[in-house]
Amino acid sequence: MFFDENGKLFQEDQIQDCVICWGASTRNEEMLNHLPSDKNVEFVIDKNIELQGSKISGYDVYGIEKLGECKECTVISVLIRFADSIIRSVHELNSKCKVYFYVEDLFDNQLLVQTNYMVMQQDDSFKYIHIFPSDSIFMKLFYEMIEDSFNIKEHLFILVLRKALETPDLIQFAEKSNRKNKNIMFIDDAHIHCSFLQDERINCNLPFENGGIGEELEASYRIFLHSAFYSDYIIGLLKKLHQGLLDKMTWVCWGDDSFCFHPEDAVVSDILQRAGRAVALGYRVGEIKKNYGILAQPIGRGIYSYLPKTIKFEGRERYLHDTVNIMVGHGPIESDCSEYALEVLGRFSADDIKIICPVSTEGVTYYEKEKEKIIRKGREIFGDKFIPLEDYMDLSEYYNFLAFHVDILVNAMTVLQSVTTLTFASCLGKKIFLRKEMSDALEENGVKADDIEVLRKKNYSDLLGYKEDLEITSDIHEMHNRDLIEEWRKLFS
């Protein structure tokens, strides 16, 4: 079906003979098949510089300025989501041209019905686009922050399908969120196409392919790349971004970006150097500069450490304890150096303590060897006072456990990680011990921690002094999230 710019149904034989396609999308092939054979398609126009000079369906692709050279003609597009901006652009470039939209996709039909077939009034492009690699915890926390504190309808989230399928909880989260907001989209990392999952509950099913994603990116105000470390999965998409899109892209540097860099990542580095800006926690700025040659803008504490309003602190009686409970490390990761931390705490092995150590591998066999080493060392030093946490906890359960069952956190990590947990623990007033270089780095971002080596001079009475009868105040969510939300508000502006 063809509609004119006023939303009126239009017959194919009424279209002028000279036709120009707007948008180098593979969806144009479907539209071209419905054009009468006597209609002469001159060429295709597209804003994407990377596509200009190529061919689609056998037709040359030019920049939209080419339209100004034409005489009276018809411009046809399948990109009805951008009808308003396309109509304006066509009229500005060539007032003699008429604009029509081809509608075949079920989504487009529903869109027209909802707007009473007034396509000119339809301008629902996303203002902010977020490209996430794979970390489901960060993505979900971030999404909930946007939903609680900003206009979620302005944000589109693009995730890599193959990585998402490895985390069933993320698929479930997307299914639930898309029922309300229709703004989580999965891309196929092998082809960088939209994955048209038949189950609409899971995928937002926006009618995009290569060109469509480009149009959505073009229409956005800002693009956020949440980590570039998983470059195998996103490099194909990044390479398609022309300089105009890179100019409005913000690379949000994660820990993996700073300490997992390899020289072979140079192709990613070249792309990122052309991005509009990069932001990183203060202590990572130096590593980003060293590895990528990019001076990142320093930002505040743990920008993904959101405390969702859905997490309620309750059931405190389950966690009441007489011992001093010390959490060591945050997982069976070699850089945590948990065995070293256990040795430092060994002086308290005869005291009334419990050593709690998260060692859940979440099914990743790579961590099994480190897990076994930590458990062996913990039991060797502390016997049955050593409590390995081998089962995975969801976020609500973990935060409640941390709030009510842990008095002190000790981590000997050599690479700063788990900033979200440490930020939350600091907000609760927990005593934290890290290596000095790590504690210095965190203090710059509002998280106070002491040098782990001072524990060698402490006694049990000191540990008792660190233990407090914690009371969760009613404004704990606001206290924890206030600076975080303000930080993102600045980035969105």
Alpha-carbon gap, residue 126 to 123, rounded angstroms: 9
Q: Measure Cα distances from 489 to 91, 151, 484 in Å.
A: 35, 11, 9
The number of residues in the chain equals 493
Record the tokens describing residue 275, joined without a space.
Answer: 């991005």
pLDDT lower than 50: segments of the chain: 105-123, 190-199, 207-211
Alpha-carbon gap, residue 172 to 188, rounded angstroms: 18
Backbone dihedral angles phi then psi of residue 384, each to the nearest 5 degrees: -80, 0
Residue type at 246 in one-letter notation: L
Contact 229, 280 (CB under 8 A): no
Record the tokens describing residue 374, joined without a space.
Answer: 């930590």
Taking alpha carbons only, the member of 119, 99, 102, 120 closest to residue 16 is 99
Q: Provide the Cα torsion 421, 423, 426, 428; round to 10°.
A: -70
Q: Measure Cα distances from 442 to 76, 227, 252, 416, 482 in Å.
A: 55, 20, 18, 8, 18
Taking alpha carbons only, the member of 173, 103, 95, 161 closest to residue 134 is 161
pLDDT tens-digit readout, 448-469: 899 999 999 999 999 998 886 6
Q: Output the pLDDT for position 264.
A: 56
In the numeric block, the tokens 């099913």 are attached to 205
Q: Output the pLDDT for position 374.
A: 94
What residues form DSSP beta bridges with 130?
Answer: 157, 224
Start-to-end Cα distance in the chain: 39
Alpha-carbon gap, residue 140 to 153, rounded angstroms: 16
Residue type at 424 in one-letter notation: F
What residues form DSSP beta bridges with 100?
Answer: 4, 76
Q: Output the pLDDT for position 148.
A: 87
Residue 345 burial by CB count (10 A; 0-12/13-18/19+): exposed, middle or buried? buried
Strand runs (DSSP E) across 68-191, as ranges?
74-77, 98-102, 128-132, 155-160, 184-188
**All domains of the chain, ordered by start, with CATH?**
2-121 (3.40.50.720), 128-299 (3.40.50), 316-473 (3.40.50.2000)
Q: Output the pLDDT for position 26.
A: 58
Record the tokens describing residue 410, joined without a space.
Answer: 């000790």
